[in-house]
Every structure is written in structure tokens, then in C-alpha cells.
């Protein structure tokens, strides 16, 4: 096991640890540790809400999830000698839930959660159809997750960090704030909002001197969106054995990461869609000097997934086109066509006895694949969603005999006042 360069004590809040992480992007957040190219090291990660979501049969915590406080990021980690223009090579050697702790109040201690956020507090991919808050708790048994809230299904973990990235330069951060501000300005009171501007009240900026705090907190970018530096890409295939190449914008690269997921489908469609948890990650870093220019990577990570993803050979797939539920034709809108494909999958699963919310939680957390199948056949794009049949305890394929009926159990908890 490599040395732990960012330890977390499960008994303490994220702000009360030996080393303090951050929840905003800014070039001036000081590194918590410095490593060398070629070094391997372990980092602990806290789940994104730092314990606000609990292992029970209520969804009140999801309804009131403290979105201003996320994400709890471990880092930044500086890599000696790395310069802007380089590519930072990051190998994910290993990643998993909190070791040696299989019970406790923190997600990652033997369990995790998936949430459907309320439209008024975050929303999600299908928020028009699912405006209320719901939750599912998942129990881990070795490599497998099952849920009392979504019965008769189990997933082999495809554990990955939802969020990893390098620090932006001041110039890049400025661009982010300008373009996102411009977007917000087009509809400033929308619910959910179009984007998330800097917010100083809940900013956590590591060991930044107090004298700089207010200025930096007022500029620092929120961590929800993926951007040029990588960030919250939520790519389910960044699992064990993956190699990622990040563009470098500041001296030392200043890598940060967090938001571990036990499993997730392409799109993380319920927003809090993966099986969220804390845990550990073992990384090795290296550098390709001048690699941004050499390989034409001016922005956005490139990567090679690992070769030990769960192996599935049979899938049932659903397609959708860019026509709204009320019959309006949109022009090559792949976001819409993926929504329609997912809604078709939900319609299908409800015929087996799942509630629509259970089916939606399943699609967010299972290792589904979302594909951009057709993007040029005007006016309809075609997106498809593939579900591995082996995750179900029963035969989920269509047949003349009709669908098996599950016992839906207690169902997915819903918040009272959602």
C-alpha cells in the first residue's frame, strides 16, 4: 500500500482533519502535498456531502442536501517540476470504499446511496418527470452492491472517482466565470438554475491564508461541472487500471479529486446518480513534457480505461429520438433523445413491477451504457441506453410469456414534503 498523503479520520468532519481539502477550483489554493513524477501514493476521499446523507428509509436528507458545500475534494497535490503545457499522466492503481470499516454513519463504510434530487434543490436529468426527492441505500458485499430499496438487482462494482482534475490558471478561471455568468444572465431566476456562480459562504479553500480568503472565495469556481481541467466528468470507466492525461495550467499541476462512486451508469442521470461513497484511491503520477502541444490536448482530459471492468455479454437496449413527450420536434438534440431512451427503459422496467422511481434510481446506479447512436439524420438524433441483463435476478428479456413480476418491497423512500 502506498503512503497516505491525504488521510481522513472517519470520526471527524472534513473541515476538522489533519490536512484540509477544498470545494472550489482556484489556482491559489495551496497544495497539501508535493510528489514527484513516478511516485505512487494513497489519498482518502470523503463522500461529497460529508455525511449529510444517512443510511435510513427516509429521503428528507436528499430533499435538503447541502449543495452549496460540495464537492469535498482531496488535494491539491503538486507534482514537482510539472509546468503549464505538460500533460499530467495519472494512473489509478486501486480505488475502493473505506478500508477496514464496513459499518458506520459515513457512506463508504460498507454502504452507499443514490438520490433523486428535488426539482427545487438540484434537479436531475429527468426532473420534469421526477420532481420529488427519493433515495436508495446500497449495501456492499465485496465487489457487489444490492439495495433494500431497489430489489432483485445487483451490480459488480465499477468503482471510480467522479471528479478529478488539475487546477485552472487565473486566465482559465476568468474564462469560466465569464462564460457561465453570461449563460446565467440569459435567465437568472430559472429553477433549476442554468449554472452555478461562485459562492463564498460555503467555500472551503484548504490552507489558504485568511487574508486572501474573501477575494479567492469570490472568484473560485464551483465544482459541479466538468471543464477544461477535467473536473466532475463522472466517467464511469475511470476505474482501476485507467490512465488519464490531464492538461496542466499551473506550476505543479495541482491535482485534486473526490466524489467516489461504487457504480454508476453513463450520464449519472439522477444527478446524485451513482452509488455515492467515500473511500481511498491509489495513484501514480508522471509527466509528458510539453505534451499538450505534442498531442494536441489543449483542454479536457484524454484517457485509457482499465482492463478489469465487469464483463457483460448480453444487453437489452432502448432507443430514443429528439421529439419531446408532448410531440414537439427538436433539431438533433442528443440530450433529449437520451432522455427519451431512458424514459423508454423506465417504462419497460415498470412492467416488471418496479416503480418509476426505482427504475430511475436503477438507471443512475447500474453500469448502463449511454450511446450517441445517430447524430446526423435531421431532424432526429438517436440515442440508446444499454442495460446488462445479468444485473437482474430474473429474466428481463421480452418474450411471448410476458414479464416476470418482482416484489417491489418497501419501494424507494420519498421525502414527505417534496
State yes or no: residue 400 binds its own copies (CB under 8 A).
yes
- Residue 158 burial (CB count, 10 A): 25
Site for its own copies in 145-174 (CB under 8 A): 156
**Span from 56-64, 203-211, 249-257, 311-319 in contact with its own copies (CB under 8 A):** 311-319
Nearer to its own copies, 68 or 194 (CB): 194
The CB-of-296 to its own copies minimum distance in angstroms stands at 4
Cα radius of gyration (the chain) = 21
What Å distances lie between residue 30 and 79, 95, 277, 283, 315, CA to CA?
Answer: 13, 25, 26, 20, 46
Which member of 81, 99, 174, 209 binds its own copies (CB under 8 A)?
Answer: 99
Asked if 258 and 349 count as a contact pair (C-beta separation under 8 A), the reply is no
Which member of 7, 30, 66, 310 binds its own copies (CB under 8 A)?
Answer: 310
The CB-of-80 to its own copies minimum distance in angstroms stands at 16
Report the C-alpha dihedral over residues 5, 258, 38, 221, rounded to 10 degrees: -100
State yes or no: residue 7 binds its own copies (CB under 8 A).
no
State yes or no: residue 39 binds its own copies (CB under 8 A).
no
State yes or no: residue 64 binds its own copies (CB under 8 A).
no
How far is it, in rounded angstroms, from Cα 244 to Cα 239? 10
How far is it, in rounded angstroms, from Cα 221 to Cα 171? 12
State yes or no: residue 317 binds its own copies (CB under 8 A).
yes
State yes or no: residue 405 binds its own copies (CB under 8 A).
no
Question: Pairing between strand 315-321 and 302-304?
Answer: unpaired
Beta bridge partners of 382: 321, 374
State yes or no: residue 105 binds its own copies (CB under 8 A).
no
Backbone angles phi, psi at 176, to 5 degrees: -60, -50
Nearer to its own copies, 208 or 282 (CB): 282
Chain-centre distance for alpha carbon 160: 9
Which member of 64, 129, 390, 408 binds its own copies (CB under 8 A)?
Answer: 390
State yes or no: residue 32 binds its own copies (CB under 8 A).
no
Q: Which letter, b or e, does each residue of 313-322 get, where b requires 16 or more Cβ atoms within 10 Å of its Cβ?
A: eeebebbbbb
Nearer to its own copies, 77 or 125 (CB): 125
Total number of residues binding its own copies (CB under 8 A)? 129
State yes or no: residue 329 binds its own copies (CB under 8 A).
yes
Amino acid at each position: 500500500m502506498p503512503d497516505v498523503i491525504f488521510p481522513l479520520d472517519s470520526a471527524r468532519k472534513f473541515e476538522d482533519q489533519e490536512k484540509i481539502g477544498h470545494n472550489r477550483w482556484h489556482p491559489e489554493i495551496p497544495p497539501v502535498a508535493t510528489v514527484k513524477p513516478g511516485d505512487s501514493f494513497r489519498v482518502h476521499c470523503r463522500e461529497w456531502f460529508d455525511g449529510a446523507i444517512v443510511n435510513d428509509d427516509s429521503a428528507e436528507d436528499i430533499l435538503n442536501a447541502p449543495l452549496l458545500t460540495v464537492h469535498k475534494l482531496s488535494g491539491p497535490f503538486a507534482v514537482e517540476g510539472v509546468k503549464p503545457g505538460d500533460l499530467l499522466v495519472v494512473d489509478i492503481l486501486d480505488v475502493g470504499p473505506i478500508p477496514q470499516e464496513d459499518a458506520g454513519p459515513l457512506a463508504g463504510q460498507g454502504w452507499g446511496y443514490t438520490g433523486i434530487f428535488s426539482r427545487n434543490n438540484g434537479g436531475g436529468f429527468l426532473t420534469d418527470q421526477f420532481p420529488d426527492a427519493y433515495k436508495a441505500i446500497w449495501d456492499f458485499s465485496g465487489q457487489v452492491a444490492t439495495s433494500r430499496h431497489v430489489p432483485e438487482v445487483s451490480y459488480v462494482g465499477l468503482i471510480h472517482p467522479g471528479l478529478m482534475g488539475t487546477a485552472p490558471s487565473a486566465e482559465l478561471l476568468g474564462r469560466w466565470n465569464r462564460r457561465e455568468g453570461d449563460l446565467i444572465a440569459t435567465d437568472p431566476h430559472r429553477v433549476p438554475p442554468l449554472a452555478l456562480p461562485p459562492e463564498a459562504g460555503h467555500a472551503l479553500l484548504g490552507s489558504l491564508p485568511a487574508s486572501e480568503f474573501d477575494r479567492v472565495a469570490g472568484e473560485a469556481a464551483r465544482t459541479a461541472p466538468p471543464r477544461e481541467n477535467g473536473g466532475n466528468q463522472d466517467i464511469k470507466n475511470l476505474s482501476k487500471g485507467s490512465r488519464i492525461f490531464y492538461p496542466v495550467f499551473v506550476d505543479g499541476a495541482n491535482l485534486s479529486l473526490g466524489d467516489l462512486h461504487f457504480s454508476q451508469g453513463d450520464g449519472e442521470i439522477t444527478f446524485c446518480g451513482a452509488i455515492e461513497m467515500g473511500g481511498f484511491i491509489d495513484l501514480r503520477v508522471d509527466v509528458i513534457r510539453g505534451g499538450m502541444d505534442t498531442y494536441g490536448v489543449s483542454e479536457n482530459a484524454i484517457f485509457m480505461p482499465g482492463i478489469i471492468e465487469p464483463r457483460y455479454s448480453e444487453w437489452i437496449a432502448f432507443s430514443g429520438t429528439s421529439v419531446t413527450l408532448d410531440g414537439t420536434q427538436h433539431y438533433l438534440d442528443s440530450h433529449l433523445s437520451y432522455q427519451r431512451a431512458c424514459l423508454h427503459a423506465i417504462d419497460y422496467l415498470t412492467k416488471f413491477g418496479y416503480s418509476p422511481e426505482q427504475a430511475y434510481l436503477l438507471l443512475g446506479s447500474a453500469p448502463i451504457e449511454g450511446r450517441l447512436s445517430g447524430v446526423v439524420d435531421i431532424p432526429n438524433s438517436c440515442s440508446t441506453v444499454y442495460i446488462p441483463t445479468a444485473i437482474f435476478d430474473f429474466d428481463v428479456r421480452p418474450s411471448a410469456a410476458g414479464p416476470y413480476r418482482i416484489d417491489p418491497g418497501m419501494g424507494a423512500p420519498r421525502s414527505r414534503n417534496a
